[in-house]
Amino acid sequence: MNPNPFDKAEKVIELKDVTFAYEGETVMAGVNIDIHRREFASVVGPNGSGKSTLIKLILGLLKPLSGSVRVFGQPPEKVRQRIGYAPQHAQVDPQFPATLLDVVLMGLLRPDKGIFGRHTREDREAAIAALEMVDLADRMAQPFSALSGGQRQRALIARALASNPEILIFDEPTANLDANAEFKLYDLMQELNRERTIILVSHDLGFVSQIVHTVICVRYNVQVHPTSELTGDMITELYGGDIRMVRHDHRCTEEGHNVALHK
């Protein structure tokens, strides 16, 4: 295995021998993952392979059957305020009656804030700052339903950013987006990665491989590869059979096409 540049960095997420079962059926077994500070890790795998399960384990929304999940050396539910989570925009109701600012303020709710969960002036300022990062601050008073798909996705990212977390987890943020919106989103993620650890669930291996450091392949067991190791064979093995891969960075040589996957 190639040396991972993050091997010496601080581990922020650590899964040890994690096994998880859903309704008696083992979904994943013997999973070991280390993710380091400021690493950009992409989680890939076919539908139903357990990508979401893995994320929910890290978020502390699911408990492993055996093994341990540690975030910043603690159980995930203890460090929730340091993790930001952005689901797919298709997962929320686009017609939901709330303004953009309302949605982002949800990212600042916390259980220890009294039973009412009133927002303070600092909350509003933090929410606006998060909206500025995703370039939507000028639209904060608009209803969520007035936004386009790409904007809604960025709104959910702003919601995750509002509490200024050190780890960001994105679940297929580019699903159902047009190419332009997708491109902008990858730019944003790369920008965010300068100071934050990022975990990105994605089906778009080819594109992602240019900005991520580590690829976590999920299919019952989990394998972690540095991006430079990723080969077409591995992808075929992972997804089984033919898959189409978009080559965003390929070169034509005399030998034919050569998929280039660089860090």
Partner 1 sequence: MLHFISEVLQYPFLQYALAAGLLSAVACGSIGPFVAARRITFIAGGIAHSVLAGLGGALYLNRVHGWTWLEPMHGAVVAALGTAALIALVSLKAREKEDTLIGALWAVGMAAGVLFIYATPGYNQNLMSYLFGNILMVAPADLTRLLIMDIVVAGTTIALYNRFLAICFDEEFARSRGINVELYYVILLGLTALAVVALVSVVGIVMVIALLTLPVATSAQFTRVLWKQMVLTTLVSGCLTTGGLWLSYGPDLPAGATIVMLAGVTYLAVLTVKKLLRGRLLLQQAAREGSGAPDEDHRI
- Joined tokens for residue 80: 């929730």
DSSP string, 142-181: SBGGGS-HHHHHHHHHHHHHTT--SEEEEESTTTT--HHH
Residues 6+ apart with CB under 8 A from 34: 11, 13, 14, 15, 224
Least distance in Å: CB of 132 to partner 1? 17
Report the nearest approach of partner 1 to the CB of residue 181 (Å). 5
Identified binder of partner 1 from the candidate list 115, 194, 241, 254, rule CB under 8 A: 115
Pair 256, 247: CB distance under 8 Å: no
- Calculate Rg over the CA atoms of the chain: 19
Determine, following the binding rule CB under 8 A, whether residue 175 of this chain makes contact with partner 1. no
Helix 149-161 vs helix 121-133: crossing angle, to nearest 10: 130
CB of 46 to partner 1, least distance (A): 22
Considering only 59, 71, 188, 238, the residue that binds partner 1 (CB under 8 A) is: 59
- Which residue stretch of 2-10, 138-146, 211-219, 239-247 sits at the interface with partner 1 (rule: CB under 8 A)? 138-146
Task: Tell me the C-alpha distance between 239 and 173, whole Å.
Answer: 20
Sequence-ordered alpha helix ranges (H) in 75-218? 100-105, 121-133, 149-161, 179-192, 205-208
Least CB distance to partner 1 at residue 30 (A): 26
Among 77, 125, 138, 187, the residue binding partner 1 under the rule CB under 8 A is 77
Please identify which residue in 98, 128, 133, 245 interacts with partner 1, judged by CB under 8 A: 98
How many residues bind to partner 1 according to rule CB under 8 A?
A: 43
Closer by beta carbon to partner 1, 4 or else 197: 197
Q: Which residues bind partner 1 (CB under 8 A)?
A: 59-61, 77, 80-81, 83, 85, 87, 91-93, 95-99, 102-103, 105-107, 109-111, 115-119, 143-148, 150-151, 159, 178, 180-181, 184
